[in-house]
Structure 1
């Protein structure tokens, strides 16, 4: 049958297009099938558990203070009329700190002085009576009972005079006590009362840090206080001077916990160093043994599953990850301490745990650096 050339060209074009379409569909199907069978592989950061730590570092922050601090107050009550010192002033023995109104106490001195004068006159009078009774008794003009009565009156007058002397001395002392003076050299650290305030005897008016030995006071929780004892050597760092490190010794451990914070006060003696000033912030570090060995991993390696802490461990053979529950001890500045669940040589995913699922394929290197688990470091393994 004869076909025009144009008609045959059209049939050839449609056949070619149909063939190309069929091939495209086949190729797309193969690509989708290949994509479905290809597993996702994720590069991960891991840290290898190298060893367990048998020594733990305890670190607490505190402030530098004088070993002896005096809370000075008046020995008598009254209204403060003068305050001489301010916070930060250096004082010497005998320096005036503050003064209260001494008017009433000066009047008491005058009254006591007048009472003493009266008592002295009374003693003189009864002494004359006693001497006269003694003379009359010698001449048999007075009885023994009269003489004894004169002697008794004299003794009573003498006792009254002695009491008046003591009252005068006490009143004079109270006038002296209206001036608050420093009895040891030091630095004024606190002012608790000011001019115009009425204070009672013993009420702290100023605090003076006595010059001499300094110390650091830290608060230690009850879970760690058993690790501190008097004489324990510690290392002290000063925040304001990163290069300054001092060797200190625990001087005192409180016998009871603070009622509010439930922590124990620990005082650490400092060596004499002019660079250390009162009020500076210091860090006290001590080493202690562990009853239960632990390893440290980065905080980023910690995850949670069903409300329990877990880490993701890489299986070297299959190069997949599996979740593993762990038991935590506590947290540090650069990681978390684990007491159970990890073994030496385990590869723990250190970052990207939110993307991990059980049996997920990951890429790791055959040359993995053995790093100390206590350092809490990690490196990218490809």
Structure 2
């Protein structure tokens, strides 16, 4: 069959295009297959382990309070008829805080006064009898027994008079005790009873924080109380003033734990500073020694494998990662403390641990390494 030359040229051109397309597709498939089989290199952020440290920082919050607080109450019972002070008032020695009804005690004073006068008259009477008996004995008109009886009556009258004097003094003191006064300067921090209330002797009516040394009281768990001893220097920060840092000292450690919270009360003495006011929130920081050195890593670096904690460590030579089991000490606000499994200079993957597999190729930038090392050193300092 005869075909025109132009038609044969068109068929040849189409065949050539089809062959080129087939070859291109084949080459592309080979390229994709080669790309798929190539090693994956993942960029990572790492932290370099700093020198292990055996000290750790303990931090507890508490409130500033006066070293001495007095719960003042009346020394006699009665009904409160007047309260002079309010919470926050500053008082000095002898200032009147409150009064109770003194009517009954004033009547007791009158009764004791009358009893004393009667006792004194009785002494005068028996004294005359004694002197008369003495004169009669000298003249032989009275026996020795009569004189001895007169002397005994006189001594009994004197004793009764002395008892009446003491009763009168006691009654007068009770009148004085109807006034509640401050015996030391300070600030009223609480009112526990008010006008109209009947209180017994010793019932707290007002609490006064004595001026002078201040302290911070914190609650320390039983697992850490062994790190606190009297005389231990600590750092105290005030929450309301971030720039204020004071040198405190442990003054007292409770000998037994609180029955409900199971914590021990620790009192820390503060230096005199007018910026520190009663009731302010304070933070007590102390360094605690640990028998086992530890290193700190970010919490994001921690992973889990077969139910055990691990971290991913970068091999500097092969630039691959391997999982490494670690033993944890405790968790902090900045990360986690590790006691076993890491050493100085190790590079630990700090982020993206969920994408890590053993022998995975990674790439690390110098900036990331330097920043991670600085962060690790900062974490250890804290």
TM-score by length of 1: 0.87
SS in 1 for 2:272: coil
Q: 1:20 to 1:78 in 2, by over 3 A?
A: farther
CA distance in 1, matches of 2:307, 2:74: 61
Q: 1:355 to 1:195 in 2, by over 3 A?
A: farther
Q: Is 1:202–2:205 an aligned residue pair?
A: no
Gaps in structure 2 of 5+ consecutive residues: none
With 26-35 and 163-172 compared, the bigger mean Cα shift is at 26-35
CA distance in 2, matches of 1:9, 1:180: 126
Partner residue, 1:48: 48
Q: 1:9 to 1:104 in 2, by over 3 A?
A: farther
CA contact (8 A) 1:237 1:284 kept: yes
CA distances 1:325-375 after superposition (whole Å, capped 9, x unpaired) = 211222223222111111112111112223333333322136733447342
Partner residue, 1:60: 60
CA distance in 2, matches of 1:358, 1:80: 80
Q: Is 1:362–2:362 an aligned residue pair?
A: yes
Equivalent residue runs for 1:1-12 within 5 Å:
1-3=1-3
Equivalent residue runs for 1:247-262 within 5 Å:
247-262=247-262
Q: Is 1:296–2:299 an aligned residue pair?
A: no
Partner residue, 1:373: 376
Q: What is the CA distance between 1:49 and its match in structure 2?
A: 0.7
Q: What is the CA distance between 1:230 and its match in structure 2?
A: 2.8
Partner residue, 2:333: 333
With 154-163 and 356-365 compared, the bigger mean Cα shift is at 356-365
CA distance in 2, matches of 1:20, 1:26: 10
SS in 2 for 1:376: helix
Equivalent residue runs for 1:174-253 within 5 Å:
174-253=174-253
SS in 1 for 2:322: strand
With 3-12 and 360-369 compared, the bigger mean Cα shift is at 3-12
SS in 1 for 2:176: helix
CA distance in 1, matches of 2:42, 2:323: 16
Partner residue, 1:380: none
CA contact (8 A) 1:232 1:249 kept: yes
CA distance in 1, matches of 2:306, 2:157: 94
CA distance in 1, matches of 2:115, 2:306: 89
Q: How many residues align?
A: 377
CA distance in 2, matches of 1:84, 1:302: 62
Partner residue, 1:134: 134
Q: 1:345 to 1:129 in 2, by over 3 A?
A: same
Partner residue, 1:268: 268
With 52-61 and 177-186 compared, the bigger mean Cα shift is at 52-61
Q: 1:366 to 1:333 in 2, by over 3 A?
A: closer
Q: 1:351 to 1:376 in 2, by over 3 A?
A: farther
CA distance in 2, matches of 1:218, 1:257: 12
Q: What is the CA distance between 1:123 and its match in structure 2?
A: 2.3
Q: What is the CA distance between 1:195 and its match in structure 2?
A: 2.0
Equivalent residue runs for 1:272-291 within 5 Å:
272-291=272-291
Q: Is 1:319–2:322 an aligned residue pair?
A: no
CA contact (8 A) 1:97 1:180 kept: yes
Q: 1:6 to 1:108 in 2, by over 3 A?
A: farther
CA RMSD in angstroms, aligned pairs only: 2.8
SS in 1 for 2:257: coil
Gaps in structure 1 of 5+ consecutive residues: 378-382
CA distance in 1, matches of 2:24, 2:79: 104
CA distances 1:196-247 after superposition (whole Å, capped 9, x unpaired) = 2222222222121111222222233333333333333322222222222222
Q: What is the CA distance between 1:307 and its match in structure 2?
A: 3.4
CA contact (8 A) 1:82 1:99 kept: yes
Q: What is the CA distance between 1:162 and its match in structure 2?
A: 1.5
Partner residue, 2:171: 171
Q: What is the CA distance between 1:54 and its match in structure 2?
A: 3.4
With 5-14 and 196-205 compared, the bigger mean Cα shift is at 5-14
With 162-171 and 123-132 compared, the bigger mean Cα shift is at 123-132
Q: Is 1:122–2:125 an aligned residue pair?
A: no
CA distance in 2, matches of 1:280, 1:256: 26
CA distances 1:141-187 after superposition (whole Å, capped 9, x unpaired) = 22222222222222222212221221221121111111111001111
With 83-92 and 235-244 compared, the bigger mean Cα shift is at 235-244
CA distance in 2, matches of 1:177, 1:354: 76
